[in-house]
Every structure is written in structure tokens, then in C-alpha cells.
Structure 1
């Protein structure tokens, strides 16, 4: 079985992935056991293709950020593949319940890195504000029937007025890739209307390959963490609504200080695997 690739129109891709039936809990469990015990590649492929439609659904939630849906879906698919590799069928929950965290993490990481040359989300609070600002704006606008003031948004999110104002400016001036199509599924990119003086095709391909290697490095680094460390990274560092150390301590029946130590240890492991990885911790 070959995994579907988004090379044509979105409608064709969605039509293709909808041909794959959803798995029952029993079917999913059997396939996941085959993968975990015997490394069955065919079982892994069936687990992936049966959940591709959920990646499209999740990717749609991020359309308001102005990126091509195809790019968001591709990033989400990478997250799904990683989730399938790490999924433990004996934990008692469905694959998509686990995979949704990885799908969102890869999409959000792509958005943060692609939005601007200047990092838009350098702390957990900024990342949270980045993903909550538009949503909160729309909710307040629906209630009041007018554009909300920064002070109203700040009160709703529990942040300073200046932080909302700064993020609003940064989100309103996103860098645009010259290779980005002017319209989804269009034929003309921004670069087609400029005198080209940049990298040639060969250099561009090399850079794309470097980005692919970085994504694989990140996935490999996360795979080196144990269950508690993975949970903390996923739910504090990579989550748009990060849990507190107190909440994690309650989950694992440990102290807040012990949770902080585990988080620090996990971040060190990632830094060792990824020398270019930076953290504010």
C-alpha cells in the first residue's frame, strides 16, 4: 500500500483519503499490536491512512493564519506518522486521541517558524497568545457586534494590553514566501511577478532537504524521552494551552519541584540531540 500524497488538488486528495474506511476499536488494536510487536509496516500504513481525514479536519482549524491548507495538512501528516510509531495500544485509548497532540504540535510548530523571520513565539505565554488572539477577537466581536478593544482582549486572556498590541502588530505583518502561490491551487507565485535574483533551483532543493532533516531530528529527539518526559514536553513546551507544574505533579503524584526537575532533564536531552535547539527554561 502506498500512502496518499498531496500532489494534485485538495479535492482529489480528500476524495482519495476518504476511500479508506475508518477502523473499529478492535481492528485498530490488532493492527497496533502487530506494529508494536513485529514492526509490521503494512499495519502501520493502515493505521495512518484510516486517520488522514482527521488531519485535514484539524488543519482546517488553522486556516485563519493565512497559510496554504496543503502545507498545514502535510505537517499534520508528519505528526500523525510519528504518533503511529509511538502509539501504545495497551494504554486503552484510541489512536486519534493520542495522535491529535502530535498533529497539532507539528502544525503549530510550522506556523510559529514560518510566520516571521523574527520569532513570534519565544515563550510559552507568547505561543499561547499567538494561537488564542484571533479566536478571542472573534468571540468578543460576536458578543459585542463591534471590533473589541485591546483592553477587552487582554482582560479575557489575562495578559497585558501592551502584549496584545504587540502580538496584533506582529501577526498583521507576516512575512510572505516568494514561492507561495497567490491563491490556493493557483499557477502563479509571488516570485513570478518579480525579477529573480535569489537562489537557483538546486540551492532551493538543498534548503528544503535541510528543513526535512530538521523535522526528522526533532522527532528523533522526542523519541529518546521516557513517558513522563514526553508528556511534559507535549503538554507544557509544545501545547498552546500549557499545563502548570502543579497539574503535572498531581497527574504523576509528584511534587511541583520534582515536575520542574523532570522538565529540565527532558529539555537537556533534547538540547543534546539538537544542538541548535534553544529554550527560555
Structure 2
């Protein structure tokens, strides 16, 4: 069977649209069954795409390298993220690489694509591995991925190991120590895993952390209290004379607040008189609301 026929028989469009998360095992088995391209066949397809913008050639190149994306994704299993999500991100990188591949450079597509595939996975890991990002600068990103691979075990780095890694990566030893501390921290999911059993489910913070502010009885009580105070304030304001009510409203209940001098000019009295009227009105309001 020719390579082209093999790809067609495996429904390429279905493979590209199928999400690995739906059935990861079936996805891996399917992409692993696609025949690897020979050097000549790959060059032929790449030239069709490069010179003629042949979409079918691009599709076949992508399909033949999906298994490599799976292989790369598995090398990042230590980050605690779903393999299916990493594969999807890697597939995006693969398609970007195929689009930019230049067959005249004399290199295999897999050598060129690995950088694009890893770049997409790295971006996904940095965005999702922690809610609080552990790496923001270019140097920190480099340290983040290299530190995991250079650590020999789960123990904390010795001073000599820290200095060696810092020198190798061209960063300050303090940066290595800080990044190691971040990497060694343990994430705890707020809610329970979908496949959690009854015993382990209660270990999720969702099950034992209580949010008092969301108690229905307290919410109703708070709403009733606010409504009662608003009603009292409305009744107390209505008991004031028009001038006192206007002064209080413009001094306390509006934005921007009017100044004593502005109200004094408007009512043709002194600022001190406005202050006295305001003070008397506030006393009446307090008395009315406490009645």
C-alpha cells in the first residue's frame, strides 16, 4: 500500500478534527498507524506545498508527524497537565512548522518542527501549570524548563549543584534557588477530580472550606437590613424642610459633593450658616432613624 493510500484510508480529516482528550488511547493508536514518510516522499510533498501551496500535501505532512507530537508531549508528563491538552498544543506547533518549512534548506521536517512543537507546549505549560506564573522573563523561562531536567532526583539541590546549574544556564544562583522553591511547591485543586473515589473526594478543599458569606439565610438577612435602613433614611429625609434636605443630599448623597461656599452663594447666606444647617439636619436624621 502506498503512503498516500495509507493516509487516505485512515481518514485524515477525521484525525485532524478528533480531540485527543475524547479517547487518547484510540487517538495515539490511530496516529501511530500512519506510515512514516521516506526522505523522497517528504521532499516531494514539501516542494508541492512550498512552490504550489498544495493543501493536500500540507495535510499529509502533518498527519505523518502527529506521532512525533505525542512523543514530545510525553516528555512533559512531569508537569501534571493533561497529555491530551499538550498534544493539541503540539499539533498547533506542528501545523505552524509545516506552513513555514523550506525544503531548500536540506533538513528533515521533524528537525525543523520540533522547535515549533515545543514552543507551543512551553507556552501552554507556563500559562496553566500554576495560577501564579512561575516564569515571566526569558531567563526565567529557560531556567524553568532546564532546572527540571538537570535535577538528579527529588532532593533539594546542594550548594555545589546550585552553583553548577547557575553557571551552566548563565543566571544568578539566587534565581536557581527561588525557581527550585516554586517547582517544589505542590498544587492542590479546589474541587475534586472527576474520577475521585468517595474517601479521597473529601480531601478536596471544596468539601471542607465553608464560605459563610454565601449562606442563604445571611444573604436574606443582609438584604432586609439594607432595605430597612434605606427606608428609615428616606422617611427621615422627608421629615426635613426642603432647604435642609437639599443641603444634606448635595453634601453627602451626590457626586461631586457641593462645598459649603457653593451652597452659601446659592442660598445667599454665609458658609458658617450652611454648616449649622447641615449639622442640625444630620442630628434630626440620626434621631429619626433611631426612632
Q: Same fold (TM over 0.5)?
A: yes
Q: CA deviation at 1:174?
A: 6.0
1:25 maps onto 2:39 in alignment: yes
Q: CA deviation at 1:169?
A: 2.4
Matched with 2:112 is 98
Matched with 2:144 is 130
Aligned equivalents of 1:177 and 1:43: distance in 2? Answer: 43
Aligned equivalents of 2:124 and 2:191: distance in 1? Answer: 16
TM-score normalised by structure 2 residue count: 0.56
Aligned length: 186
Q: CA deviation at 1:8?
A: 2.9
Rg larger for: 2
Q: Which has the higher contact order (CA 8 A, sep 6+)?
A: 1
Aligned equivalents of 1:32 and 1:177: distance in 2? Answer: 45
3-state DSSP class of the match of 1:118?
coil
Which stretch shifts more, 88-97 or 3-12? 3-12
Structure 1 residues 181 and 112 mapped into 2: Cα distance closer, same or farther (>3 Å)? same
Aligned equivalents of 1:194 and 1:179: distance in 2? Answer: 5
CA RMSD of aligned residues (A): 3.0
Question: Which of 13, 16, 30 is equivalent to 1:2?
Answer: 13
Question: Is the CA contact (8 Å cut-off) linking 2:90 and 2:121 kept in structure 1?
Answer: yes
Unaligned 5+ segments in structure 1 are: 198-281
Q: CA deviation at 1:177?
A: 6.4
Question: Is the CA contact (8 Å cut-off) linking 2:46 and 2:101 kept in structure 1?
Answer: yes
Q: CA deviation at 1:135?
A: 1.7
Name the one with the larger helix percent. Answer: 2
Aligned equivalents of 1:176 and 1:170: distance in 2? Answer: 14
1:88 maps onto 2:102 in alignment: yes
Mapping for residues 45-64 of structure 1, pairs under 5 Å = 45-64=59-78
1:40 maps onto 2:54 in alignment: yes
